[in-house]
């Protein structure tokens, strides 16, 4: 079951991400949170290195969620009855996701828990119509991602 070329590999990877988006609520929450944090980062005028760190932790959380999903499905293929090792594998993978998300939250606190930056973010969103429009658009997109995307993806998957 090897991919014939690079583009087939990309197609399979995108299919995997879309499947996870349709089936995994937590992945949708992670992406919605990442988009919201992106708006805050933009409004807070993050520096290049801060953006890089933020993007790294966002990618780490999403990757951890995808790996967790892969582990859960692989374990489910192997056994359909209770197995202590299956439970350990699933719980450990979920734990890795939790640790990654916890670290991402700490990075977010370090980047944003500065009163000067918080006032800058609030002021920029309040007084810059373009940024306010972006924030509203991201909020609407996040709601659609969480509630509507699974239905749309599942419909096209059939």
Where does residue 47 fall: left (phi above 0), alpha (psi -120 to 50 degrees), or beta otherwise?
beta
Given 24, 47, 50, 65, which residue is catalytic? Answer: 65
Q: Count CB-CB contacts under 10 A for residue 29.
A: 15
Helix (H, G, I), strand (E, B) or coil at 68: helix
Active site residue 65: yes
Helices 115-127 and 129-147 sit at what angle, rounded to 10 degrees? 90
3-state secondary structure of 1: coil
Task: Please answer whether residues 10 and 27 qualify as being in contact, where contact means their C-beta atoms are separated by less than 8 angstroms.
Answer: no
Residues annotated catalytic, as ranges: 65
């Amino acid at each position: 079951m090897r991919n014939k070329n690079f583009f087939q590999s990309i197609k399979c990877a995108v299919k995997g991400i879309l499947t996870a988006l349709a089936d995994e609520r937590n992945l949708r929450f992670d992406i919605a949170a990442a988009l919201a944090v992106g708006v805050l980062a933009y409004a807070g005028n993050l520096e290049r290195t801060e953006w890089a760190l933020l993007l790294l932790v966002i990618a780490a959380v999403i990757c951890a969620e995808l790996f967790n999903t892969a582990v859960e499905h692989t374990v489910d293929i192997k056994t359909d009855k209770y197995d202590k090792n299956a439970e350990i594998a699933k719980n450990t993978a979920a734990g890795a996701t939790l640790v990654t998300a916890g670290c991402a939250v700490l990075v977010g606190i370090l980047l944003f828990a500065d009163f000067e930056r918080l006032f800058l973010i609030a002021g920029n969103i309040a007084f810059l119509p373009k940024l306010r429009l972006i924030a509203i658009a991201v909020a609407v997109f996040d709601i659609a991602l969480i509630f509507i995307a699974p239905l749309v993806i599942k419909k096209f998957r059939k």
